[in-house]
């Protein structure tokens, strides 16, 4: 509950928007709030910070949840539902058993080339399609993004700008903490929010240049890397314990996957306390198995085409390499 500033002394119930801090989560919420504006409090974080529902208080009136795994948030979700909180849940990650509850409105699909932005696009009948295209590009579903964009009649140059924006939004979400990011995801959403057309955001908001320049600098460092392991169907890279590496890890995995679609890719980024942050991409020609691979490890999860492990102990490196080679 919060005090109503228009009527001091009166309380009103609060809505929370809970979303992944990557391109798909940002663009899913952008579509919803352009079509269904409402006052809300934002709960988000770096891309890998997905146990977000536990931060929603029990006196919330309602919650919209976008692009985070139900399976990873099950306990907090049930706690909220049992407290009478209305929850709308839209996602494309592994969910496990979905609770049956009258307060839960759920739309979850785990197809390998459809992210949350496209699920929201379905719910809104395509009314904010350009933002759905941005989010889909950001999630590395290039073919699906191009198919979705066909009714918009965009030039190839305009489509390229939307792809760039999706990549930069996604890139900004990677990091061990918010301090690694150029813009905190809640701040970035508020920068996107005034723009019904993502091309206007690209042309008019300085945040775009900040993300573009940061991406260029970080990827220049990444281009100097050589694989730690490589064969005909796999490549594995190890990145140093540096903020640029934590920011670049996920987008680097996407770029490598696009460049070698028959290969599986793993990016292991050293963490300050030891161990690795892991990003895995299944081969684009066989986009399945990444989530299964990563769930073999305690902090792993994700989706069929792309998944990760938040903290892989260094002692598990050889076990991970063996599992990675077997998976693809």
| pLDDT computed for residue 176 by the predictor | 82
- 149: Cβ contacts below 8 Å, ≥ 6 apart: 129, 130, 133, 159, 162
Q: Is 198 left (phi over 0), alpha (psi -120 to 50) or beta?
A: alpha
Residue 139 · residue 170 · CB < 8 Å: yes
User: What are 220-235's pLDDT values in tens digits?
Assistant: 999 889 999 999 999 9
pLDDT at 55 exceeding the cut of 90 = yes
**Residues for the chain: how many in total?**
328
- Mean of the per-residue pLDDT values for the chain? 94
State the Cα–Cα distance between residues 238 and 295, nearest whole angstrom: 20
- Quote the pLDDT of residue 170: 95
- Residue 208 C-alpha from the chain's centroid: 18
Find, among 71, 7, 33, the residue nearest to 301 by Cα.
71
The pLDDT tens digits for 185-244 are 999 999 999 999 999 999 999 999 999 999 999 999 998 899 999 999 999 999 999 999
Distances 214 to 80, 92, 167, 247, 264 between C-alpha atoms, Å: 38, 28, 12, 9, 26
pLDDT tier at 6, thresholds 50, 70, 90: very low
The two three-digit tokens of residue 127, written as one number: 């009314």
Give pTM, 2 decimals.
0.85
The C-alpha atoms of residue 108 and residue 128 are separated, in whole angstroms, by: 20
Q: 145, 107 in Cβ contact below 8 A?
A: no
Q: Which domains does the chain have, with CATH numbers?
A: 2-214 (3.90.1640), 229-327 (3.10.310.30)
pLDDT band of residue 9 (cuts 50, 70, 90) is very low
- What is the pLDDT, as a whole number, of residue 250? 86
pLDDT of residue 5: 47
Structure tokens at 266: 């793993």
Give pLDDT tens digits for 83-127: 999 999 999 999 999 999 999 999 999 988 899 999 999 999 999
For 84, left (φ over 0), alpha (ψ -120 to 50), or beta?
A: left
């Amino acid at each position: 509950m919060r005090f109503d500033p228009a009527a001091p002394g009166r309380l009103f119930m609060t809505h929370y928007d809970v979303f992944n801090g990557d391109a798909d989560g940002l663009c899913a919420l952008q579509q919803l709030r352009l079509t269904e504006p409402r006052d809300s409090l934002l709960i988000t974080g770096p891309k890998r910070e997905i146990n977000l529902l536990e931060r929603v208080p029990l006196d919330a009136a309602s919650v919209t949840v976008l692009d985070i795994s139900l399976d990873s948030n099950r306990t907090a979700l049930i706690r909220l539902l049992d407290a009478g909180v209305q929850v709308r849940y839209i996602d494309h990650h592994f969910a496990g058993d979905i609770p049956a509850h009258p307060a839960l409105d759920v739309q979850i699909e785990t197809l390998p080339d459809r992210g949350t932005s496209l699920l929201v696009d379905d719910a809104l009948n395509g009314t904010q399609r350009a933002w759905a295209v941005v989010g889909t590009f950001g999630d590395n579903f290039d073919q699906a993004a191009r198919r979705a964009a066909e009714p918009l009649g965009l030039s190839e140059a305009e489509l390229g700008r939307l792809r760039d924006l999706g990549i930069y939004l996604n890139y900004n979400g990677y990091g061990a903490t918010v301090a690694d990011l150029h813009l905190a995801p809640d701040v970035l959403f508020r920068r996107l929010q005034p723009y019904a057309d993502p091309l206007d955001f690209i042309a008019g908001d300085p945040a775009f240049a900040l993300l573009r320049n940061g991406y260029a600098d970080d990827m220049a460092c990444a281009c100097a890397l050589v694989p730690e392991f490589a064969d005909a169907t796999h490549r594995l890279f190890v990145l140093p314990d540096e903020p640029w590496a934590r920011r670049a890890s996920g987008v680097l995995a996407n770029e490598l996957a696009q460049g070698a679609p028959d290969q599986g890719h793993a990016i292991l980024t050293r963490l300050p306390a030891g161990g690795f942050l892991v990003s895995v991409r299944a081969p684009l020609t066989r986009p399945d198995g990444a989530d299964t691979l990563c769930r073999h490890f305690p902090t792993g999860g994700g989706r069929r085409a792309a998944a990760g492990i938040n903290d892989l102990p260094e002692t598990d490196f050889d076990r991970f390499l063996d599992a990675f080679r077997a998976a693809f």
